[in-house]
């Protein structure tokens, strides 16, 4: 018997008392295995199984308990996917993946990139236009990396810009922008985690999309990293290993490190490339994405109004286009359904546009769309496992135990920083921000709620404090992802830029750690003391600029 025989109680608070420190086993197993195996799917799977075994342990024998644990784990996975909200999230993620594949096949994103690339005449403008492209391809970090790199590589090579810098700009504008975008392949996953975690503290009717929007000012790392790229490109100043790479490329003409072989990194996905002879049009990307955004906005309003009741509904009907009406409608909308519907409709628009232009046949269009869906199946798997782990931790009382253990001993001001650092460590070890969010979010919101209550925060301040910690989870995961040599987006950025992967990581790591440090000192630490974000963000931006201006060195010959 792996655990003492315990009669499972029906209430999670009682379970946390009965299991005691054993309630930490599911998340700890997932985290430790993530360090060891660097495989988030396997780690989450075993973490779930360890929890269901605790729940299923019987007086008979280990094998019977294992059987019941496996059955319970399977039922939790099915239950996670059977939930209407979760099913909508999975469908929207997969559908957006299909839409991205279709518009990429049509050459739309490439046309946008080429339009901007033609205007890049200097090293500064080439880097700035690469940075700007990241904002255009905001909906997916993978698409961002794969589209921008091959287009800008000839331009940056001509202007003697190091491939390491190109890979950094692409990587630094992929996940940070996708994480901030209101409509992307990330949003559904993040909304589901937020909603599920709030449900665990007795707030099942919380507006997850509203919480997501409120976290945006607290995404210090994302915002400051985007600013860092801009200031560095604008001033043409670098420091650390990136300065050596930039100086080498400009003075010797070696855009890649001659000591490393980057030929193996020069790969593109031929299936996603447009056919020869296809005329690239920016409208092949702009129209489907515009349709996605417009349909989603209209859908949020209509879906939300249909869910309103009583006096609120009467007030909205009396003045349907007021700020109050829009706010209440968006707050009541089911984001999982609306974004799925918008993504499905925009996919149909993209396919019709491609058929009309004879870019592909109907069979090829559907095959491409399905390929895009399959590319994001791994995301659906992580989603289901993360939801299941959350359900297991809720049943064994992990959050309740941590709340009891830490709410009285954890200083209020340090928790957001601890969450940010812990998220970065997990993400670094696993190479994925998705899995990190799935592990940390179910623990962070209950813990932040308890710490805030214990320190006597008023309801409004408590709400803002929880939002701050949610932002720390979402950005800490991206920070660790930027530092990790096994990060999927970092690998894609290296491939798309034809840059040796470890050259990319070694140069980017220095910058990521610097921006992460500023995010703590000018962000999460003072924000926990209720310093307004309107002060903290300008302060962080000023620090970033001053360091680049006075510590960074110009690498161009005068």
Among the listed residues 476, 492, 494, the one whose alpha carbon sits nearest the alpha carbon of residue 428? 476
pLDDT digits (tens, 9 = 90+) for 120-138: 888 999 999 999 988 877 7
Q: Within 10 Å of residue 551's Cβ, how many Cβ atoms? A: 11
Element at 502 (helix H, strand E): helix 501-519
Confidence band of 493 (pLDDT split at 50, 70, 90): confident
Confidence band of 259 (pLDDT split at 50, 70, 90): confident
Contact 407, 14 (CB under 8 A): no
> Mean pLDDT across the stretch 70-75?
91
Cα–Cα distance measured from residue 114 to residue 419, given in angstroms and rounded to the nearest whole number: 40
**121 part of a folded domain:** no
Confidence band of 9 (pLDDT split at 50, 70, 90): very low
User: Is a pLDDT exceeding 60 seen at residue 516?
Assistant: yes
Q: Which residues contact 118 (CB under 8 A, 6 or more apart)?
A: none
Q: Which two tokens stand for residue 69?
A: 């644990």
Q: Within 10 Å of residue 376's Cβ, how many Cβ atoms? A: 22
Helix, strand or coil, per DSSP, at residue 325: helix
Cα–Cα distance measured from residue 232 to residue 549, given in angstroms and rounded to the nearest whole number: 8
pLDDT > 90: what percent of the chain?
29
**54 part of a folded domain:** yes
What number of H helices and E strands is found in the chain? 28, 2
In order of 101, 183, 310, 343, 395, the CA distances from 295 in angstroms are: 19, 11, 27, 9, 38
Q: Within 10 Å of residue 453's Cβ, how many Cβ atoms? A: 15
Any bridge partners for residue 237, and if so which?
554
pLDDT > 70: what percent of the chain?
91
Reported pTM: 0.74
The sign of the CA dihedral 240, 241, 244, 249 is: negative
> Mean pLDDT across the stretch 65-86?
88
The pLDDT of residue 6: 41
The pLDDT of residue 191: 84
Alpha helix stretches (DSSP H) within 25-173: 25-37, 40-56, 62-82, 84-105, 108-117, 123-136, 141-158, 163-172
User: Which residue did the predictor score with more confidence, 35 or 84?
Assistant: 84
In order of 339, 390, 401, the CA distances from 55 in angstroms are: 36, 14, 16
Contact 178, 186 (CB under 8 A): yes
User: Is a pLDDT exceeding 70 seen at residue 11?
Assistant: no
**432 part of a folded domain:** no
In order of 202, 422, 528, the CA distances from 407 in angstroms are: 17, 17, 15
Which region among 236-240, 391-395, 510-514 has the lowest average model confidence (pLDDT)? 391-395
> Mean pLDDT across the stretch 181-193?
79
User: Which residue did the predictor score with more confidence, 312 or 199?
Assistant: 199
**78 part of a folded domain:** yes
**305 part of a folded domain:** no
Contact 204, 194 (CB under 8 A): no
Confidence band of 496 (pLDDT split at 50, 70, 90): confident
| Residue 317 exposed, middle or buried by CB count within 10 Å (0-12, 13-18, 19+) | exposed
Q: Which two tokens stand for residue 427?
A: 């993400």
**343 part of a folded domain:** no
Cα–Cα distance measured from residue 429 to residue 514, given in angstroms and rounded to the nearest whole number: 19
Length of the chain, in residues = 558
> Mean pLDDT across the stretch 53-66?
80
Contact 145, 492 (CB under 8 A): yes
Among the listed residues 186, 192, 229, the one whose alpha carbon sits nearest the alpha carbon of residue 211? 192
**2 part of a folded domain:** yes
Confidence band of 521 (pLDDT split at 50, 70, 90): very high
**48 part of a folded domain:** yes
The pLDDT of residue 13: 54
Cα–Cα distance measured from residue 382 to residue 113, given in angstroms and rounded to the nearest whole number: 31
Element at 554 (helix H, strand E): strand 553-554
- If one counts the domains in the chain, the total is 1
Helix, strand or coil, per DSSP, at residue 258: coil
Tell me the residue range of the domain where 40 lies: 1-9+19-82
The sign of the CA dihedral 320, 321, 324, 329 is: positive
Q: Which two tokens stand for residue 133?
A: 């492209």
Q: Within 10 Å of residue 472's Cβ, how many Cβ atoms? A: 35
């Amino acid at each position: 018997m792996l655990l003492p025989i315990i009669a499972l109680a029906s209430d999670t608070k009682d379970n946390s008392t009965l299991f005691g420190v054993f309630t930490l086993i599911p998340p700890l197993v997932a985290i430790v295995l993530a360090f060891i195996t660097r495989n988030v799917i396997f780690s989450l799977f075993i973490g779930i199984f360890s929890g269901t075994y605790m729940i299923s342990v019987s007086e008979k024998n280990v094998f019977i308990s294992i059987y019941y644990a496996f059955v319970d784990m399977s039922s939790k996975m099915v239950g996670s996917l059977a939930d209407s909200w979760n099913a909508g999230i999975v469908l929207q993620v997969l559908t957006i993946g299909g839409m991205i594949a279709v518009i990429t096949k049509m050459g739309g994103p490439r046309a946008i990139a080429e339009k901007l690339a033609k205007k890049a005449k200097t090293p500064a403008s080439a880097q700035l236009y690469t940075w700007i492209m990241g904002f255009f391809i905001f909906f997916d970090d993978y698409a961002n990396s794969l589209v921008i790199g091959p287009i800008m590589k000839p331009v940056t090579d001509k202007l003697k810009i190091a491939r390491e810098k190109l890979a950094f700009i692409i990587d630094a504008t992929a996940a940070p922008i996708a994480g901030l975008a209101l409509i992307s392949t990330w949003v559904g996953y993040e909304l589901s985690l937020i909603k599920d975690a709030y449900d665990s503290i007795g707030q099942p009717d919380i507006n997850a999309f509203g919480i997501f929007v409120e976290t945006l000012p607290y995404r210090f790392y994302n915002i400051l990293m985007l600013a860092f790229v801009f200031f560095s490109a604008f001033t043409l100043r670098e420091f650390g290993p990136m300065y050596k790479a930039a100086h080498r490329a400009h003075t010797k003409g070696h855009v890649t490190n001659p000591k490393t072989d980057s030929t193996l990194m020069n790969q593109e996905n031929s299936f996603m490339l447009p056919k020869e002879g296809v005329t690239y049009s920016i409208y092949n990307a702009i129209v489907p994405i515009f349709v996605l955004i417009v349909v989603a906005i209209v859908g949020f309003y209509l879906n939300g109004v249909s869910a309103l009741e009583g006096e609120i509904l009467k007030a909205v009907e009396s003045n349907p286009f007021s700020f109050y009406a829009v706010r209440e409608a968006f707050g009541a909308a089911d984001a999982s359904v609306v974004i799925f519907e918008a993504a499905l409709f925009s996919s149909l628009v993209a396919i019709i546009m491609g058929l009309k232009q004879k870019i592909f046949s109907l069979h090829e269009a559907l095959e491409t769309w399905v390929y895009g869906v399959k590319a994001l199946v791994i995301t659906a798997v992580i989603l289901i496992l993360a939801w299941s782990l959350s359900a297991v931790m809720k049943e064994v009382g992990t959050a309740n135990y941590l709340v009891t253990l830490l709410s009285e001993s954890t200083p209020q001001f340090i928790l957001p920083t601890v969450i940010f650092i812990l998220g970065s460590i997990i993400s670094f070890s696993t190479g994925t921000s998705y899995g990190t969010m799935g592990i940390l979010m179910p623990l962070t919101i209950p813990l932040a709620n308890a710490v805030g209550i214990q320190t006597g925060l008023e309801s409004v301040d408590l709400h803002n404090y929880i939002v701050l910690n949610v932002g720390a989870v979402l950005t800490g995961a991206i920070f660790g992802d930027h530092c990790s040599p096994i990060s999927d987006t970092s690998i894609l950025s290296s491939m798309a830029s034809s840059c040796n992967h470890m050259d990319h990581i070694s140069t980017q790591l220095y910058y990521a750690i610097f921006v992460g440090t500023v995010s703590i000192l000018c962000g999460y630490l003072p924000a926990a003391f209720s310093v307004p974000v309107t002060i903290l963000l300008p302060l962080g931006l000023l620090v970033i600029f001053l360091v680049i201006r006075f510590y960074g060195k110009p690498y161009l010959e005068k």
